[in-house]
Amino acid sequence: MQFASQLPVTLYKYWNLWGKALIGAQWLFTGRGLGASNQFESCAFIRSKAGVDYPDIQYHFLPIAVRYDGKVAAGGHGFQAHVGPMRSPSRGAVTLRSGRPEDAPVIRFNYMSTEQDWVDFRACIRMTREIFGQAAFKPYVKSEIQPGAAVQTDDQIDAFIREHAESAYHPCGTARMGRRDDPMAVVDADCRVIGVDGLRVADSSIFPRITNGNLNGPSIMTGEKAADHILGKGMLAPLNAEPWINPKWQASQR
């Protein structure tokens, strides 16, 4: 979601050839400056409603109003929040296209294939509007660029989602870990491919379910753990740290 800014405090002033060259040169020769950051330095995990015992919405904030691929910027100072529900119930698949190994597989992400996804995304958009409507943002928010203040009904929000929803590049779970007698499992608890000798998989494809957040950290951990298995290292001492849960989660959203 994008908002126009009342104050000239965003990265828009660098959205020109000279500005980009200056930032690039500073990073190239000094390793510092705006080019040393991907600018996603503010994020949040929040609960969408009462009765949810974990943060099921993720945010990250960008101090410029620009498309996710960086190709198109809004015409002036602005900022945006990328928001989406965590642990979507939709499920896709990667399957063989044919018996020929040279043929590319069939990849179906199957986004937004359950009604719950639509319900959750509507909640995300309305929650974002509430956040940027707070007094703390009043000096900065000029207007809502997209989806726009006129987009209010479920059908209007659904049309916006259908046009603008993106993946954020975090697919996983196509070669899930499980017991050797599980017909849906590809690898066992030691990351060994079931039925194949001398082959392991050590990446996010082995996750039985997507994690509640970005996959980079868990993927690194998976590689480290697989390396321990290969090297024959023993188990680390158990550490079962309990996450903090709002004691009022059953009755209150915040």
Task: Give a three-class secondary structure readout of 29-62.
Answer: HHCCCHHHCCCCCEEEEECCCCCCCCCCEEEEEE
Mean pLDDT of 152-176: 93
Can 82 be counted among the known catalytic residues? Answer: no
Q: Are 128 and 1 in contact (CB under 8 A)?
A: yes
Decide if pLDDT at 70 tops 90. no
* 2-92+105-164 CATH choice from 3.40.50.1370, 3.30.410.40, 3.90.230.10, 2.60.40.1120: 3.30.410.40
Active-site option among 77, 82, 170, 229: 170
pTM of this structure? 0.87
- Residue 66 CA to residue 60 CA, distance in Å, equals 14
User: In the chain, where are the structural domains located?
Assistant: 2-92+105-164, 171-238
Query: What's the N-to-C CA distance of the chain in angstroms?
Result: 22
Strand partners, 227: none
- Residue 220 CA to residue 240 CA, distance in Å, equals 19
Query: Where residue 254 falls among pLDDT bands split at 50, 70, 90?
Result: confident
